[in-house]
Structure 1
Amino acid sequence: MDPISQKACLCFAVSALLMAFLIYSVSVTRSLVLTGLAWLSVFSLFVIFSTIVAFICAASSSNKRYTFGLARAPVLAVFSTTVLAQLSAVFLTKEAVERLFDSGQHHHSHHGGDAAPLSGGDILKTEYLFYPAALASSSTMLIVAYALANQPFNYVLKHAQSSVIQEHFADICAAVCYFVPGLARLLLPRINSLTLLAFISTCCAIFVHWFRLEFPWVDSVASMVLSFTIFTSMAPLSSYTGRILLQTTPPHVQNLIDRSISEASTIDGVLELINTHFWQLDFNTIVGTVDVRVRRDANEQHVLRDVRIKLGSIVNYCTIQVLKDSSTNWALHRQYQTPLYQPPSAAPTHSSPYHQTLPNGIAFRDQSLGSHPQEMHSHDHHHGHSHDHHGHGHSHK
């Protein structure tokens, strides 16, 4: 096992211990804010697990059933983790709304425990758990954000769009850095989403610790604020990984691909590139397929090599199918085809259903009649007609 894998396993074990402590704190305090912190620790644990999955998938190879192996497994792991965090935020909001309308006399089941508010004496006995719980939750998120480098989740954090919370904090940080330029290196261009979650969750826990005894509804309000922060922070991450799973291409990469296709269309012998399909396989790999229609006299190997060179700088794996041009050689066809249009002569003429002239003067044959050029030639030169001279009918061929 390499040192990075050992470090990931160590972080997983530490996060599991911190999660166990947070679950114990929830069972003792029955606080919704600490419940949210426990969910965040579960989220951090699954993020580290996705890193371990990425290490396992990197060692696997492709086979006949899975052409690209397990390359998409880390993407699916990160997507599932972010969706889990969003679902926990929804459940936490539901419990907070129920707690707000609860009179304190009803007892509801809450994650396997009793969610009824505690009395004043019990609250005083459990006040000491809020600070350690906030520290434990923040530690799990900071481990995920900074302890493990080059993990899949960090890649998503870097390349996904900014959340609403990040945009507002970016404005505040820009104002602070205007007066203290030395902080620009830490606060700009934007703060890590997990760092913001750790900061906001700690503030919520401290706020509930000081005002929970005087205002019982503070716990519910703070938990709803925490739920909103979790949901808005995870939404861009879920959207980014979801697009990868739907086999789409990032906009900036699509622009580069379009430019490469335009350059490949100018290669000698290439008529056009059709049936193009490019998508993002994982966080760092672009794959695609394309059909190249070439002239009949084009060298397929040279065309294949040149197209690969044009697309290889953007597309990591590309399947290229070279198609010979199947259009008719009209120059050769005109040597054997009888003219469909003849100049008018003194002989009687009549309209033929076998040809017509387009407005631009080009004649074409109606293929639906199923006639052949030889039949058309015979029809043009053999006209049957009769004349009646003084009651004697005779015909000429």
Structure 2
Amino acid sequence: MKKPTAAYTFGFERFEVLAVFATTVLIQLGALFILKESIERFVEQPEVHTGRLLVGTFVALFFNLLTLLSVENKPFTCVSEAASTNCLQEHVADLSRSVCGLVPGLSSVLLPRMNPFLLLNMAASLSLCITYTLIEMDNYNSVDTASAVAIALMTFGTMYPMSVCSGKALLQTTPSHLIGQLDKLLREVSTLDGVLEVRNEHFWTVGFGSLAGSIHVRVGREAGEQMVLAHVTSRLQSLVAPLTVQIFKDDWIRPSPVPGALPAAPPGAPGPRPPPPVDVLTSTPAKPGPPPEFSFHTPGRSGQPLLLPGAQAYGPHSLGLESHGSPYSAALSQGWARPHLGRPPAPGYRTAYSPAPQRYGAHTPPRHFSYRS
């Protein structure tokens, strides 16, 4: 009855579910204890004195029926309707159909299925009456133990479906008897104007008779969000009381970005990296190549030529300077020269006729060129 708080946003109805679950589990444990005691009693059956057993049976039945019919117990009523039928209810339902065929007026009481608590009280009272009769007439003491076993089994069979139903509610599962109605409502919601998709739906039991849920609805770009929200809420509100509906626009059709445009960076964040240069011939981003001659600076084809100061193979023609190559004997002693295919070497650079330095950076004085004015 207390209002929802920040810690319990759905209220305190789940305390009733927890109380029903704990009660039904304790009753089943009591039934198992009676079965254990009855098995031990079968080994050595004592003498039974009935006393006022018949009077106590009718007094207990009267007060139980008065409590069940006069006091409204919402948690147990809801769980008895939501739980599956037990074996006792199924057998009585078959008998009730035969009786209602003879007396149609009893169909409202006996069909479709009787209250499990009322049925358990009636069956236990009938068992005690049979026990009292057999002990008083034939002194059949073992019937008392057999009656205890029968009552324990009926109690366990009646409470087990209720424990399962309340346990599923504690696990926040969808009630099985409401799945058909929920599917029908979801189909109606999916056919509304502007609704493209219904997904991520989840419905669970908060308390007995209270169903909560959340759903995501994807709508078109031209659909009104408030209008769709009102229609979806009106369809599901009759069955799902605390309902959360998330409406979002369709994101499948978006304008393509402008080629070459960069997204805006948030304030304080580094700007986006520029796109790599595009090769004009292949229209693909150019990949950065490796540095020349790997990563160390050694002379090679990609390195800069070595300058030899003071060695000038050719001078300006206006000054009348001439140069002569080395003799053939000197050229043969140094090895075959590499021709330049008719192109003279550039002035001031090391040529194939000059010896290579022994170490990078060392300067070797020219020995194979002579100058005269």
Matches within 5 A, 1:321-360: 321-327=246-252, 329=254, 332-333=256-257, 336=259
Within 2, Cα distance between the matches of 1:306 and 1:177?
44
Q: CA deviation at 1:65?
A: 0.7
CA gap 1:129/1:321 in 2 versus in 1, 3 angstroms? same
Matched, 1:207 2:130: yes
Within 2, Cα distance between the matches of 1:132 and 1:73?
38
- CA-based RMSD of the aligned residues comes to 3.4
Counterpart of 1:226? Answer: 151
- TM-score, scaled to structure 2: 0.64
Cα-to-partner distance string for 1:238-292 (whole Å, 9 max, x where unaligned): 2222222221222342233233333333444443233221112122221111223
Within 2, Cα distance between the matches of 1:281 and 1:212?
50
Matched, 1:133 2:35: no
Matches within 5 A, 1:185-200: 185-200=108-123
CA gap 1:293/1:202 in 2 versus in 1, 3 angstroms? same
Query: Percent same amino acid among aligned pairs?
Result: 34
Within 2, Cα distance between the matches of 1:277 and 1:319?
10
Counterpart of 1:68? Answer: 10
Within 1, Cα distance between the matches of 2:230 and 2:107?
48
- 8 Å contact 1:145–1:154 — kept in the other structure? no
- 8 Å contact 1:247–1:280 — kept in the other structure? yes
Matched, 1:171 2:94: yes
- TM-score, scaled to structure 1: 0.61
Structure 2 residue aligned with 1:146, among 69, 76, 88?
Answer: 69
Amino acid at match of 1:233: T
Q: Helix, strand or coil: the match of 1:332?
A: coil
Counterpart of 1:316? Answer: 241
Cα-to-partner distance string for 1:305-358 (whole Å, 9 max, x where unaligned): 3332332232211112233444562x534x638xxxxxxxxxxxxxxxxxxxxx
Q: CA deviation at 1:297?
A: 5.3
Cα-to-partner distance string for 1:214-239 (whole Å, 9 max, x where unaligned): 33322211111111111112222222
CA gap 1:372/1:263 in 2 versus in 1, 3 angstroms? farther
CA gap 1:73/1:321 in 2 versus in 1, 3 angstroms? same
Amino acid at match of 1:332: S
Amino acid at match of 2:39: V
Counterpart of 1:293? Answer: 218
Within 1, Cα distance between the matches of 2:279 and 2:183?
50
- 8 Å contact 1:86–1:230 — kept in the other structure? yes
CA gap 1:299/1:144 in 2 versus in 1, 3 angstroms? same
Q: Helix, strand or coil: the match of 1:165?
A: helix
- 8 Å contact 1:137–1:198 — kept in the other structure? no
Within 2, Cα distance between the matches of 1:244 and 1:303?
30
Q: CA deviation at 1:66?
A: 0.6
Amino acid at match of 1:218: V
Amino acid at match of 1:161: S
Matched, 1:380 2:282: yes
Q: CA deviation at 1:150?
A: 5.6
Structure 2 residue aligned with 1:250, among 169, 175, 178?
Answer: 175
Within 2, Cα distance between the matches of 1:222 and 1:150?
29
Structure 1 residue aligned with 2:162, among 228, 231, 237?
Answer: 237
Within 1, Cα distance between the matches of 2:107 and 2:182?
35
Within 1, Cα distance between the matches of 2:248 and 2:79?
39
- 8 Å contact 2:78–2:209 — kept in the other structure? no
Structure 2 residue aligned with 1:277, among 202, 208, 211?
Answer: 202
Structure 2 residue aligned with 1:89, among 7, 31, 35?
Answer: 31
Q: Helix, strand or coil: the match of 2:51?
A: helix
Within 1, Cα distance between the matches of 2:117 and 2:225?
52
Within 2, Cα distance between the matches of 1:183 and 1:328?
63
What stretches of structure 1 of length at least 5 have no aligned partner?
A: 1-57, 105-116, 338-370, 384-390, 393-397
Between Structure 1 and Structure 2, how many residues are aligned?
278
CA gap 1:182/1:299 in 2 versus in 1, 3 angstroms? closer
Within 1, Cα distance between the matches of 2:226 and 2:182?
22
What stretches of structure 2 of length at least 5 have no aligned partner?
A: 261-272, 287-340, 343-373
254-263 or 311-320: which moved more?
A: 254-263
CA gap 1:265/1:170 in 2 versus in 1, 3 angstroms? closer
Q: Helix, strand or coil: the match of 2:248?
A: strand
Amino acid at match of 1:380: T
Q: Which has the larger radius of gyration?
A: 2
Within 1, Cα distance between the matches of 2:37 and 2:278?
85
Within 2, Cα distance between the matches of 1:376 and 1:316?
59
More helix by share: 1
